[in-house]
Structure 1
Amino acid sequence: MPRIDVHQHLIPPTYRSLLDERGLTAGGWPTPNWDPDSAIAMMDRRSITTGVLSLSAPGVHFGSDAAARKLAREVNDYHAELVKDRPDRFGQFAVLTLPDIEGALTEATYALDELNADGVVVLSNVHGRYLGDKAFEPLWAELDSRSAVVFIHPTEPPIEMLPGLPSPVLDYPFDTTRTALHMTVNGVMSRYTRMKVILSHAGGFLPYAAHRFVGAAPFNPGTTPEGILTDLQRFYFDTALSSTPSALPSLLAFASPGHILFGSDYPFAPESMGATFDTWLDTYHDWQPGQRDAVNHENAETLFARLRK
């Protein structure tokens, strides 16, 4: 069964060298090996026709604004060349320079207009500032005006990591949930309805706890329980590391029709681990007619017109 993978990562060689020099990781998770040929071989083995690639945490802003702008441009240009060479196999979520808003607007315009990127990627929090913060309004307004696809990838929350529990294991689902609810109660999802926002890893525990979150309404003037639920269901969700027999029923019960997309999280999720989640997805016993095809590729084809057959 063909799949379009909206949660797959690239690690450009110069970016990898920079991380290693500075001792930076994705929340304590070792940086894996990656190259385009190995990624294509993995996709062939797992029936993935196209992987829409993104940069994972820690992103590009861990120095000055100027350094972040330079690194973002290098990464995005490298990424665009991959897509240019193999448009059938790779897509591009362009990395931005948050918290540098001016740089992020410039890079989003460049990536979407000049590189024809499929969308942009932002991290779930930016040096402790979550995505519902009013400082990010100019970026949301610009992306909404373009009906852009926005991929939110988690990063370390501004709390101490527990010993023996790297952030991708424990904290990433929490941080995704936290930023999604923050965007919702601060009106981002109700004001900017043309952009399409994808949450990693089935939205963390958002589908499971969504009806609990309506309790935020009394503390946020202008919101209602019904409005919170409606806006939470505007999000799209990928299945990366989240298609288990316990998680998938909750996701299917909550997500709006057409809002679930296949994700692998390769190479940070080793192929052997990802294959287990593929099996759970394939063998789920309660698919409705046509639903599995929609999750595997049809919903992504709706979001990304160029990937339609």
Structure 2
Amino acid sequence: MENEAALTAGRITHNGGRIDVHAHYLPARYREAAIAAGHAHPDGMPFLPGWSVAEALDVMDSVDVQTQMLSISSPGVHFGSAEAARDLARMVNEEGAQAVRDYPGRFGLFASLPLPDLDGALLELEHAFDVLHADGIVLKSNFDGMYPGDARLDPLFAELNRRRAIVFLHPTSPACPCCHGASLGYPRPTLEFIFETTRAVVQLLLNGVISRYPEVRFIVPHAGAALPLVVDRVVGSMPVLDLPRRPSPEEVFADLRTLYFDLAGFPVPRGIPALLEIADSARLLYGSDWPFTPTARMAMLTDALDRTPALAGEMRAAVMRGNALKLFPRLLES
């Protein structure tokens, strides 16, 4: 049972507060399934955090967050069995949708799909949008080595494009064992998550997914990861790459400016200025990465965003709330 007093306190609307597009939830049955599958220390992390609606609302209140968009983080829902992944995706999506129904102004949902099972993913996508009314979906940076820009996922992106869906990208561990060793013994979020996000977005750009499916709204985490630093190298390499269609440099940078970027992680002091070299400032969004980022650290990082001169004047309010309201207009009615 949730703590009744905490839930009552959580009914404060915090209208005018932040909108957090990078927040995770771990229903009890999901934690049990992840641990049973060997993910008690996901991606080399020292712990798999707990989660409850009551605790989430308390934390949100402490940093003036009106709404958290809930998503399942790495390692996702597919632990080897396609059938079990379909069941687990349905369970976590139903539980996330219940939190939204109970607190419609406080939570949103990025639904999980049982990829790389494409048939199962298309079925769950239909249920997530048509029955659960999810705000979007979450895609990992790779699914057993299949990255989002893989041509095998074209049917999925065609449907997402038809629905003008929001897609939240989230890194996971690289599929290759040698990359795990390349983490130098550190948890993969320390280094590999940054490169995983970058790999995924570069493939989406170079394989033409972003340009071919222009109605899909992508949210890229962690201030664009390494993209601001490597994109010129990628563009400079395009003449020697075997691509389905070689975009012009201008097309690549135009596609980048259609992307949304959350500011979870450590974008202060250097990340935001670098990101603004390639991104549209009207598409920057607040993100906490809670509870994988512990509460005290998350509050410190939020305070750094409040104080940084990189988000000057009206840009700060837009990042914390205004830009997200344009992306999720239903929150205007909450």
Q: What TM-score comes out, normalization by structure 2 length?
A: 0.89
* CA positional deviation for 1:222: 2.5
Aligned residue for 1:9? 24
| Aligned mates of 1:205, 1:294 — CA distance in 2 | 23
CA spacing shift, 1:268–1:286, aligned 2, 3 Å: closer
The question of 1:186 aligning with 2:207 is answered yes
Q: CA deviation at 1:151?
A: 0.4
| 3-state SS in 2 of match to 1:17 | helix
Post-superposition Cα deviations, 1:176-225, rounded to whole Å, max 9, x if no partner, equal 00010001100000001111000111121112332222123211343222
Alignment counterpart, residue 54 of structure 1, candidates 54, 61, 71: 71
Residue 281 of structure 2 corresponds to residue 266 of structure 1: no
Task: Tell me how large the CA RMSD over aligned residues is.
Answer: 1.4
Alignment equivalent of 1:199, drawn from 207, 220, 229: 220
1:289 equivalent to 2:313? Answer yes
For the Cα contact (< 8 Å) 1:122–1:153, is it kept in 2? yes
Say which of 87, 102, 112 aligns to 1:85: 102
Q: After the TM superposition, which of the residue ranges 250-259 and 163-172 deviates more from structure 2?
A: 250-259
Give the corresponding residue for 1:240. 264
Q: Does the residue aligned with 2:277 lie in a helix, a strand or coil?
A: helix
Residues 16-38 of structure 1 show CA distances to partners (whole Å, capped at 9, x for unaligned) of: 01112222143111201111101
Structure 2 residue aligned with 1:169: 190
1:1-309 aligned within 5 A: 2-24=17-39, 25-29=41-45, 30-158=47-175, 159-161=179-181, 162-218=183-239, 219=241, 220=243, 221-308=245-332
Change in Cα spacing, 1:112 to 1:273, as seen in structure 2 (3 Å) is same
- Structure 2 Cα separation of the partners of residues 225 and 287 of structure 1: 28
- Structure 2: gaps (5+ residues): 1-15
Tell me, yes or no, if the aligned pair for 2:37 and 2:79 is still in contact at 8 Å.
no
- Which residue type is aligned with residue 134 of structure 1? A
User: Separation in 2 of the partners of 1:286 and 1:57?
Assistant: 30
Partners of 2:213 and 2:272 lie apart in 1 by 28
Secondary structure at the residue paired with 2:133?
coil
SS of 2:87's partner is helix
Structure 1 residue 150: Cα displacement:
0.3
Cα separation, 2, equivalents of 1:217 and 1:224? 9
Question: Distance between the aligned counterparts of 1:7 and 1:49, measured in 2?
Answer: 13
In 2, the alpha carbon distance for the partners of 1:286 and 1:97 equals: 38
1:57 & 1:77 partners in 2: Cα distance? 19
| Deviations, residues 45-88 of structure 1 (Å, cap 9, x unaligned) | 01100000000011111122111111111111111111110111
Give the distance between the partners of 2:236 and 2:143, measured in 1 at CA.
26
**1:54 & 1:137 partners in 2: Cα distance?**
23
Inter-partner Cα distance in structure 2 for 1:234 and 1:209: 18
Q: CA deviation at 1:152?
A: 0.6
CA-CA distance at 1:288 after TM superposition: 4.1
1: CA distance, partners of 2:257 / 2:235: 13
C-alpha distance in 2 between matches for 1:70 and 1:22: 15
Aligned residue type for 2:155 = P
Q: Secondary structure at the match of 2:164?
A: coil
- Could you list the runs of 5+ residues in structure 1 that have no partner in the other structure? none
Identity of counterpart residues, as a percentage? 43
Residue of structure 1 in register with 2:12 after alignment: none
Size of the aligned set, in residue pairs, is: 309
User: Secondary structure, in 3 states, of the residue corresponding to 1:8?
Assistant: strand
Shift of 1:163: 4.0
Q: Which runs of 4+ in 1 moved over 4 A?
A: none
Contact 2:82 2:117 (8 Å CA) reproduced: yes
Higher mean alpha-carbon deviation, 18-27 vs 148-157, is at 18-27
Alpha-carbon offset, residue 164 of structure 1: 3.1
The one-letter code matched in structure 2 to 1:202 is A
Contact 2:173–2:193 under 8 Å retained in 1:
yes
Q: Is the 8 A contact 2:169 2:218 kept in 1?
A: yes
